Amino acid sequence: MGMTLTEKILARASGQPRVQPGETVWAKVDVLMTHDVCGPPTIGIFHEQFGKSAKVWDREKVVIIPDHYIFTQDEKARRNVDTLRAFASDQQLPYYYDVGTERYKGVCHIALAEEGHTRPGEVLLGTDSHTCTAGAFGEFATGVGNTEAAFVMGTGKLWLRIPPTLRFVFEGALPPYLMAKDLILTVIGTIGVDGGTYRALEFDGDGVYSLSMEERMTLINMTIEAGGKNGLINPDQVTIAAVKAKTKKPFEPLTRDADGSYLKEYRFDCRTLEPLVAKPASPDNRATAREVEHTKVDRAYLGSCTGGKITDFLAAARVMKGRQVKVNTFVVPATSDIAKGLETHRVDGQSLKAIFEAAGCVIGPPSCGACLGGPLDTLGRLNEPMVCISSTSRNFPGRMGDKRAQVYLASPLTVAASAVRGEITDPREFLA
Amino acid sequence: MAHSKKIPDVIKGAIYVVGDNIDTDQIIPAQYLSLDPSRAEERRKFGWYAMSGLPEKGQGLPKGGVAFSQEGQAAGRFPIVVAGKNFGCGSSREHACIALQEAGVRAVIAEFFARIFYRNSVNGGYLMPCETQEERLCAAIATGMDGELILANTSKPVLHVAALKTSWTLSPLGEILPILEAGDLFSYARARGLMKPS
């Protein structure tokens, strides 16, 4: 019997010829990532446990990316970035992306990929639930807490239980009105927000391999919304080319065995799927956009690791070009590279930035922004009960601010169409 | 099975009851995450805001409207939380475990936990995460009832609720028991010589 990709990666990382679901292993970590919310407490635990003058196990493997609370007057948020800066300097960390400098990136999960830190076959742990995003590159990636991250900082390893694997096969290329967001909302709507708990989610089928790297990241990013431990796509030539374009570091991809054992397999035909939303207040509260069309919205939001990449903005711009939004609409690029890309990427000759500005959108600086609410002065935060349609990942009560607010999750195409109409709208209305 | 002193024999006190899929944004809303829990004077404030993200109708089942915490309040009003499925889903923030601990919670009993919250509870030694497949405890127990969580036998933890004249046997603490017994991941690893890079 062969192994799934998750099993193969964790077997190699733990020095075992093979592993089986249910086993606990000590896995070596290739990259540990932290940010401004979980970094300072992680650093606190690291010094408490390993000593005031302790050094990280491998400074080439610790990546620190401030991204959560950046454009705020919150003094403590600034203090937290100071803590990261001092630690990076003291430890001489080469991969610290400081606020207020040319190196500043923005949302860590996207920045990791832009900077070549996501590599097939490796183990990446991060103090953020959406760390799973890097599984799009064919590596084992999952979120950890501060205590675990501090342990990894000192030792380079962590105990992990080998999860059983669920397999999701998407057949057929996506029609132009569907995006990876619709695929993952299909999965979450099918298995529920707890259907992947303690499990790996692997994705397959020509529908998945036809996706760009950014779209693959969206798909895997929300595996945590099904409770998944990690998500994975077998690396192919698209993956390898994308990684080699970003890093000269050597890496050894692994691919799943043909006869690996899966707990359960789900098959979907992309040609029969429809644009979806997740209604308030759970990512598994699935409906088609058409089932809830004419639902009035007060705000639209495009941003975050889930929905703030160039592909996401190209899709939204296709809908918004030559049109006006009817509700307050926020465009928050995930990273500074993407922010620059808004000026260089074009639809029908017009830059994304020009299209969004002409449509009446507010463009914000790159960060996690209002996806998780954040400090009260965060741009786009839902500071009162209102209805918002968003390309972000999570809509539990209070996620984007006020706990009485109602958030609908949808693809950037559906968010853009809804912004133009001021009510939830299937994007096919705008795509000729 | 006998156990070390890190696991209390009994946790007693009033129970706070919540439903399914209580995510970490509800346990500790993101607006408070600029507080740094590695600083003592900031850490205790997490207890003031614990569970403040619950919608009013979900604040203490079955009736709702029972605020779990308030600013400046002393910890310890509800040492036991009973939840439905998938407690602690969503964000990986360890602040969620810290908020509950600072509010005086010593155990959460759920049908099952989201995995990062579960690992954080155990590895950080914040609280006892107990699971039960037996029945919907969150539908059987009302907020404010007194409970006794008996952990003297870790392979057969028991929750006793006098007002209901009922005891429930919970799932064995299982493979995480050695870490719970040691107190946290660091104590566990230090005792086994696992604290060095390998």
Three-class SS of A228-241: ECEEEECCCHHHHH
- pLDDT confidence of residue B75: 83
Average pLDDT over residues A52-72: 98
pLDDT greater than 80 at residue B134: no
CA distance B15 to chain A (A): 23
Q: What would the mean pLDDT of A192-214 be, rounded to a whole number?
A: 98
pLDDT tens-digit map of B61-98: 999 999 999 898 888 899 999 999 999 999 999 999 99
Residue of B nearest to A222 (CA): B90
Question: Which residue in chain A is spatially nearest to B89 when comparing CA positions?
Answer: A227
Whole-Å CA distances, B143 to A71, A421, B61, B63: 40, 44, 6, 8
Q: What pTM was estimated for this model as a whole? A: 0.98
| Burial class of residue B5 in the structure, from the number of CB atoms within 10 Å of its CB (0-12 exposed, 13-18 middle, 19+ buried) | exposed
> What is residue B3's predicted lDDT score, i.e. its pLDDT?
46
Distance from CA of B185 to the nearest CA of A (A): 8
Tokens 């999860």 belong to residue? A163
Contact B92 A38 (CB under 8 A): yes
Q: B134 versus B158: which is more confidently predicted?
A: B158
Which single residue is written with the structure tokens 């407690």? B87
Please check the confidence at residue B135 and state whether its pLDDT lies above 90: no
**Does residue B19 surpass a pLDDT of 90?**
yes
Tell me if residue B11 falls in helix, strand or coil: strand
More confident position, B133 or A160? A160
Check CB contact of B193 with chain A, cutoff 8 Å: no
Phi, psi of A216 (to 5 degrees): -60, -35
Q: What is the mean pLDDT of residues B110-114?
A: 98
Quick check: B77 contacting A, CB < 8 Å? Answer: no
| CB half-sphere exposure, B93, CA atoms < 13 A | 28
To the nearest whole number, what is the mean pLDDT of chain B? 95
Cα angle B106, B110, B113; round to 5: 95
Quick check: B133 contacting A, CB < 8 Å?
no
A337-364 tens-digit pLDDT: 999 999 999 999 999 999 999 999 999 9
pLDDT band at B16 (very low <50, low <70, confident <90, very high): very high
**In this predicted structure, what is the pLDDT of residue B5?**
62
pLDDT at A251 over 90: yes
The pLDDT of residue A149 is above 50:
yes
- What number is the average pLDDT over the span A221-239? 98
Say how far apart CA B95 and CA B33 lie, in whole Å: 8
Digit-coded pLDDT (tens) for A363-409: 999 999 999 999 999 999 999 999 999 999 999 999 999 999 999 99
- pLDDT score for A427: 98
Residues of chain A positioned with their CB less than 8 A from the CB of B114:
194, 197, 227
What does the pLDDT look like over A197-206, one tens digit per residue? 999 999 999 9
Give pLDDT, residue A1: 87
Contact A321, A348 (CB under 8 A): yes
Average pLDDT for B165-181: 95
At what angle are helices A39-50 and A146-155 packed, to 10 degrees?
A: 50
ipTM: 0.97
Spatial CB neighbours of A420, under 8 Å, sequence gap ≥ 6 = A319, A320, A323, A324, A325, A326, A359, A430
Rounded CA separation B170/B151 (Å) = 10
CB A395 within 8 A of CB A280: yes
Mean pLDDT, chain A, rounded, equals 98
The whole-angstrom separation of Cα A421 and Cα A327 is 8
The pLDDT of residue B2 is above 50: no
Whether A218 has a pLDDT exceeding 60, the answer reads yes
Contact across the interface for A143 and B116, Cβ inside 8 Å:
yes
Average pLDDT over residues A102-124: 98
Where do the domains of chain B lie, and which CATH numbers do they carry? 13-146 (3.20.19.10)
Backbone angles phi, psi at A248, to 5 degrees: -100, -5
Contacts of B187 in chain A (CB under 8 A): none
Subunit contact B25:A146, Cβ cutoff 8 A: no
Domains of chain A and any CATH numbers? 5-267 (3.30.499.10), 279-427 (3.30.499.10)
Q: How confident is the model at residue A418 (pLDDT cuts 50, 70, 90)?
A: very high
Helix (H) or strand (E) holding A158: strand A157-161
pLDDT score recorded for residue B1: 39
Name the residue among B92, B116, B197 with its Cβ closest to that of A57: B197
Task: Point out which residues pair with A232 in neighbouring strands.
Answer: A202
Mean local confidence (pLDDT), A189-200: 98
Quote the percentage of chain A above a pLDDT of 90: 100
Residue of B nearest to A375 (CA): B31
What are the chain B neighbours of A48 within 8 Å (beta carbons)?
38
**Contact between chains at B23 and A396 (C-beta distance less than 8 A):** yes
Q: Average pLDDT for residues A238-248, to the nearest whole number?
A: 98
